[in-house]
């Protein structure tokens, strides 16, 4: 490992201790590296505007940061155990290329605000992607809801046959759910859209830093004002962001559960796209729904991350090295969660339904509620109607699913899914998405 940034000369660093402290930072920092470079350039420009770096120094630093970005993108530069972390790698690169000028980049900043700003930029991108994916899933569900609005299927409560429903109503439910989830992503985005750069180690610094300038340059909508709160917000905001991710993944899990049940041979309602199934290593006859099952496991990943964060955050004010342990869980949960969520739009498009099987699963007793409500609408007290129909369950055989469905006219009911309202909301949310610089 290269000499740590805090090396003052003279002290012998113990390799095992150094490794323990660096932990897996150098690997995790690969995710946030480009954001760290971007924020470093903004910091250097800010130092220029504050009169601390000369124009030429700013130009050199920004140019070398650009070269590092390019080398990274082309795979010519790798973050590995030559470095303590990504922050050290950036300064190391600048110093190797620019000598004294490179050594100036850390003027007025601490790794404490450096890591905060890089992680926030990364999280902002993740939340924007989360929102976009939720809206994408919602749009696909809405399209399928439109196409299947009249396709009857059983509606269950307690996993028992209850009343006739439609495939359109099934998809409409997820269309609306993912609109909510997109809003949650958006709320989390808005919460962390504040610039912590310039708060240094947590107590400001004795320089007239252009915090407003770096805020604009990095595309944050506001400055995170308090340096102490900047540190205290670490992990807390990650928990909030994970909460938004979990909202979406809870709906993914429910969808995955439904599809698992629908694809059981005994129900036979649905068939998954072949690409979303796998074979068995021993049973030649099997196609297994591994993808939906792993989608179902995603909230577990997020809950694990939240537990890890929650346990880490029992800290007094200010920076503590414990906070480093907030990074891994968030990176892993978003990585895995968004990877899974990205598979959902195609799943929605391509899952096939067997309309005849779904219709055959409707039994006449499922019209009992319709009959009781009809009697009540004609004036019989509902409780009496209920009891009467319970005695006459064998007399409902002449009804059709269509008749039942077409009578469900109140908003959201099977004859009036309100898809246009969902469509309006989708259009509004698509139009209001944040533009990341
Ligand atoms: N890897 C560290 C973290 O994530 C960077 C900040 C180190 N700061 C310090 N004062 N040792 O927290």
Residue 238 pLDDT: 97
Instruction: Measure CA of the first residue to CA of the last residue in the chain; give whole Å.
Output: 34
- The yes-or-no verdict on residue 24 having pLDDT over 70 is yes
314 is catalytic: no
The band of 436, judged by pLDDT with boundaries at 50, 70 and 90, is: low
Render pLDDT for 261-293 as a digit per residue (tens, 0 to 9).
999 999 999 999 999 998 888 888 888 899 999
Q: Which of 54, 280, 317, 400 is catalytic?
A: 280
- Strand, helix or coil for residue 266: coil
User: Is the pLDDT score of 376 beyond 90?
Assistant: yes
Nearest C-alpha neighbor of 152 from the set 363, 398, 390, 325: 363
251-267 burial string, b = 16+ CB within 10 Å, else e?
bbbebbebbbebbeeee
Residues with CB under 6 A from ligand 1: 25, 85, 111-112, 115, 319, 321, 323-324, 327
Which atom of ligand 1 sits closest to the CA of residue 87? 5
Give residue 437's pLDDT: 60
pLDDT band at 14 (very low <50, low <70, confident <90, very high): confident
- Residue with CA nearest ligand 1 atom 11: 321
Residue 363 appears among annotated catalytic residues:
no
Q: Give 111 Cα–ligand 1 centroid separation in angstroms.
A: 6
| DSSP assignments along 23-88, one per residue | TTHHHHHHHHHHHHHHHHHHHHHHHHHTTSS-HHHHHHHHHHHHHHHHHHHTTS----TTSSSHHH
Is it the case that residue 11 has pLDDT exceeding 80?
no
pLDDT tens-place string over residues 399-434: 999 999 999 999 999 999 999 999 999 999 999 988
pLDDT at 270: 98
Q: How far is the CA of 80 from the centre of ligand 1 (A)?
A: 17
Closest ligand 1 atom number to CA of residue 321: 12
Provide the mean pLDDT of the chain.
Answer: 96
């Amino acid at each position: 490992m290269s000499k740590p940034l805090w090396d003052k000369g003279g002290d012998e660093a113990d390799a095992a201790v150094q490794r323990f402290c660096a932990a897996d930072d150098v690997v995790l920092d690969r995710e946030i590296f480009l954001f760290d470079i971007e924020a470093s350039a903004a910091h250097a420009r800010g130092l220029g505007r504050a009169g601390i770096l000369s124009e030429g120094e700013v130009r050199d630093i920004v140019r070398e940061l650009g070269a590092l970005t390019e080398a990274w993108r082309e795979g010519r530069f790798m973050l590995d155990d030559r470095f303590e972390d990504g922050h050290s790698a950036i300064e190391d690169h600048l110093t190797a290329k620019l000598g004294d000028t490179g050594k100036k980049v850390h003027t007025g900043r601490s790794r404490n605000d450096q890591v905060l700003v890089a992680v926030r930029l990364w999280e902002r991108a993740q939340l924007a992607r989360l929102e976009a994916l939720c809206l994408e899933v919602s749009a696909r569900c809405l399209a399928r809801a439109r196409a299947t609005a009249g396709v009857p299927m059983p509606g269950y409560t307690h996993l028992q046959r209850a009343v006739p429903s439609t495939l359109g109503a099934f998809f409409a439910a997820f269309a609306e759910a993912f609109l909510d989830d997109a809003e949650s992503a958006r709320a989390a985005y808005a919460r962390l859209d504040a610039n912590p750069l310039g708060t240094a180690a947590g107590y400001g610094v004795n320089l007239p830093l252009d915090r407003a300038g770096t805020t604009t340059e990095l595309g944050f909508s506001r400055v995170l004002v308090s340096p102490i709160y900047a540190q205290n917000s670490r992990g807390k905001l990650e928990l909030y962001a994970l909460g938004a991710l979990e909202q979406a993944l809870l709906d993914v899990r429910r969808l995955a559960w439904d599809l698992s049940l629908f694809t059981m041979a005994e129900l036979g309602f649905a068939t998954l796209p072949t690409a979303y199934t796998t074979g068995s290593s021993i049973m030649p006859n099997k196609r297994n729904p591994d993808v939906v099952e792993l989608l179902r496991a995603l909230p577990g990943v997020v809950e694990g991350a939240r537990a890890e964060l929650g346990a880490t955050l029992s800290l007094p004010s200010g920076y503590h090295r414990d906070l480093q342990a907030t990074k891994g869980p968030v990176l892993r949960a978003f990585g895995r969660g968004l990877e899974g969520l990205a598979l959902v739009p195609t799943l929605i498009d391509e899952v096939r339904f067997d309309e005849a099987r779904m219709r055959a699963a409707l039994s006449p007793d499922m019209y009992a509620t319709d009959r009781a409500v009809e009697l009540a609408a004609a004036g019989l007290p509902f409780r009496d109607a209920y009891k009467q129909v319970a005695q006459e369950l064998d007399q409902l055989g002449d009804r059709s699913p269509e008749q039942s469905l077409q009578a469900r006219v109140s908003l959201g009911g099977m004859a009036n899914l309100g898809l246009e309202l969902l469509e309006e909301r989708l259009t509004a949310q698509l139009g209001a998405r944040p533009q990341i610089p």
